[in-house]
Amino acid sequence: MANEEAIRISELTGEPMPGGRETDLRARSRLSSRLGRLGLIGVPYLWLLILFLLPFVIVLKISFSDITIAMPPYTPVFDWADGVSGNLAKVKEFTLQNYGFLASDALYYLSYLSSLKIAAISTVLTLLIGFPLAYGMARSPREWRPLLVMLVILPFWTSFLIRVYAWMGILSREGLLNQFLIWLGVIDPANPLVILSTNTAVYIGIVYSYLPFMVLPLYATLEKLDETLLEAAADLGCPPWKAFWQITVPLAIPGVIAGCFLVFIPAVGEFVIPDLLGGSQTLMIGRTLWTEFFNNRDWPISSAIAVVLLLILVIPIVYFQNQQARLQESEK
């Protein structure tokens, strides 16, 4: 698998493969190196093309189809059997009615807006909880840090579904939180807090589930922070809180941005949290898509919902990818 390495070296130096004269054997090994490189790049490339990119093309195609009562429940827009002219004729049958339907029914655009709002508020809340946690970790003695990082990562390895489920037992009417508050005498037993099946529970669920995604990039930037900058500020008479705002926070911005993207993007399309913790009035687009698909069996509409969701997220996703690629380049 390292064949490409040899090829690259020989290409860089402009010389044949290490070893001098290019014998028949060399030529053959060079050919096998080239094949190795081709396989190394080609196999995962092809896999992603077929199982990641092609499915989006199909979603796009079906979002232009009509719903029918059949299996699969849509009229195919393209058919290989039709040939070129048959397919060209079918292009005229492309229908935008699914998108028109999305625009005309308030359910859909309210779902999009509400998803963006819930994701944005949750991201800010996650940052507010995650920043002090990451800051505390970065200021801890060096020998504690691996353990603390491990403690942040461990819940991430535990099933997402289980962690959301754990909150159902805490937030329900007879749940542990209400019992605890009644025991403390803070609330009236006849009038418990109603949190489960409200948007508040959804916020709690998202903040809880995505907290590690916020803390880890924040910790990574805060840990690298040059302490001498803070010392210099203190020597020059800068109070600690001012040094925090003028030095620590600006230097942590890359971590803040990475963390916010890692929370915001998946939260917009979240399904499990609004479904289990939210109420019937909690509109989130992932849940709407799920209902259209599984309950109403309307595949074209679900496809159109997915396409629009992807269009909404494409800017943050591309931005995130560029950030990641830049980060990897800078570490080289």
Partner 1 sequence: MNRGPSWFNIVSMVVGFAFLYLPIVLLVIYSFNAGRNVAVWEGWSTRWYVELMSNDQLLAAAWVTIRVALLSATIATILGTMAALALVRGGLFYGRSLFSGMVYAPLVMPDVITGLSLLLLFVAVGFSRGFWTITMAHITFSMCFVAVVVQSRLISFDKSLEEAAMDLGAPPMKAFFAVTLPIIAPAVAAGWMLAFTLSLDDLVIASFTTGPGATTLPIKIYSAVRLGVSPEINAVCTILIGIVTIGVIAASLSMKRKEVRRRRDERMAAAANAA
Considering only residues 197 through 236, tell me which ones interact with partner 1, judged by CB under 8 A: 208, 211-212, 215, 227, 230-231, 234
**Footprint of partner 1 on residues 295-314 (CB under 8 A)?**
299, 302-303, 306, 309-310, 313
Q: How far is the CB of 201 from partner 1 (least distance, A)?
A: 12
Longest CA pairwise span in the chain (Å): 91
Tell the smallest beta-carbon distance from residue 16 to partner 1 (Å).
13
The two three-digit tokens of residue 115, written as one number: 């998803």
CB neighbourhood size of 278 (10 A): 23
The footprint of partner 1 on residues 146-165 (CB under 8 A) is 148, 150-155, 157-163, 165
d(CA 116, CA 286) in angstroms, rounded, equals 11
From 176, 226, 246, 249, residue interacting with partner 1 (rule: CB under 8 A): 176
Q: CA-CA distance, 89 to 74, in Å (whole number)?
A: 18
Question: 216, 292, 289, 286: which is closest to 255 by C-alpha?
Answer: 216
- How many residues bind partner 1 (CB under 8 A)? The answer is 108
Q: Which of residues 113-132 bind partner 1 (CB under 8 A)?
A: 129-130, 132
- How many CB atoms sit inside 10 A of residue 4's CB? 17
Give dist(CA 292, CA 300) in Å, integer.
9
Q: What residues numbered 245-274 form the site for partner 1, per CB under 8 A?
A: 261-262, 265-266, 268-272
Q: Is 58 in the site for partner 1 (CB under 8 A)?
A: yes
Nearest to 161 by CA among 278, 293, 276: 276
Contact positions with partner 1 (CB under 8 A) in 66-105: 72
Rounded Cα–Cα distance for residues 263 and 119 (Å): 8
12-51: contacts with partner 1 (CB under 8 A): 18-19, 29, 33, 36-37, 40-41, 43-45, 47-49, 51
2 in contact with partner 1 (CB under 8 A) = yes
Residue of 5, 66, 93, 226 interacting with partner 1 (CB under 8 A): 5
